[in-house]
Structure 1
Amino acid sequence: MRKIDFHCDVISKLLVEHDLDFHKEDFSSRLDVTLQSLLDADYMIQVFAVYIPSDHPKDLITIMKSIEIFYERIANHPNMIVVDSAIDVERCKATNKVGAILSLEGVDGLQGHLFLTSLLYRLGVRFAGLTWNAMNWAADGVLEASGAGLSSLGKDFVRQCNKLGITIDVSHLSEKSFWDVVKISSKPVIASHSNAKAICNHPRNLTDEQIIALVQKQGLIGITYVPWFVVEGKQANVTDLLKHIEHMLSLGAENHIMLGSDFDGIDQHIEGLSSPRDVNGLEQLLLQYYSRELVEKIMWRNAYQFLLRNLNPRR
Structure 2
Amino acid sequence: MRVIDTHCDALYKLQAGKGKYTFQDAEELDVNFERLIEAKMLLQGFAIFLDECVPVEHKWKKAVEQVNIFKQHVLHKGGVIHHVKKWRDLENFPEEKIGAVLTLEGIEPIGRDLDKLTQLLDAGVLSVGLTWNNANLAADGIMEERGAGLT
**Structure 2 length-normalised TM:** 0.90
1:21 partnered with 2:22: yes
- Kept in 2: contact 1:82–1:88 (CA 8 A): no
Shift of 1:52: 0.5
Q: Secondary structure at the match of 1:102?
A: strand
For residue 96 of structure 1, what is the aligned residue in structure 2?
Answer: 96
Shift of 1:114: 1.7
Aligned residue type for 1:53: D
For 2:37, which of 4, 28, 39 is the aligned residue?
39
| Farther off after superposition, 104-113 or 55-64 | 55-64
For residue 243 of structure 1, what is the aligned residue in structure 2?
Answer: none
4+ aligned runs moved over 4 Å, structure 1: none
For residue 122 of structure 1, what is the aligned residue in structure 2?
Answer: 122
Summarize the Cα distance change of 1:66–1:57 in structure 2 as closer, same or farther, 3 Å threshold.
Answer: farther
Query: In the TM superposition, what are the counterparts of 1:260-299 in structure 2 within 5 Å?
Result: none
- Kept in 2: contact 1:8–1:48 (CA 8 A): yes
Shift of 1:143: 1.4
Shift of 1:97: 1.7
Query: In the TM superposition, what are the counterparts of 1:235-254 in structure 2 within 5 Å?
Result: none
Aligned residue type for 2:12: S
Summarize the Cα distance change of 1:86–1:106 in structure 2 as closer, same or farther, 3 Å threshold.
Answer: closer
Percentage identity across paired residues of the two chains: 34
Larger helix proportion of the pair: 1
Q: Take 2:71 and 2:133, find their aligned partners in 1: how far apart are those partners?
A: 27
- Kept in 2: contact 1:39–1:97 (CA 8 A): no
| Structure 1 unaligned regions, length at least 5 | 152-315
For 1:57, which of 32, 55, 58 is the aligned residue?
55
CA deviation digits over 1:73-114, x for unaligned, max 9? 1122221100012453235x3232211000000111111112
Q: Take 2:42 and 2:126, find their aligned partners in 1: how far apart are those partners?
A: 17
For residue 134 of structure 2, what is the aligned residue in structure 1?
Answer: 134
Summarize the Cα distance change of 1:86–1:130 in structure 2 as closer, same or farther, 3 Å threshold.
Answer: closer
Q: Take 1:80 and 1:9, find their aligned partners in 2: how far apart are those partners?
A: 17
Q: Take 2:33 and 2:91, find their aligned partners in 1: how far apart are those partners?
A: 20
RMSD between aligned residues: 1.4
Greater Rg over alpha carbons, structure: 1
- Kept in 1: contact 2:2–2:42 (CA 8 A): yes
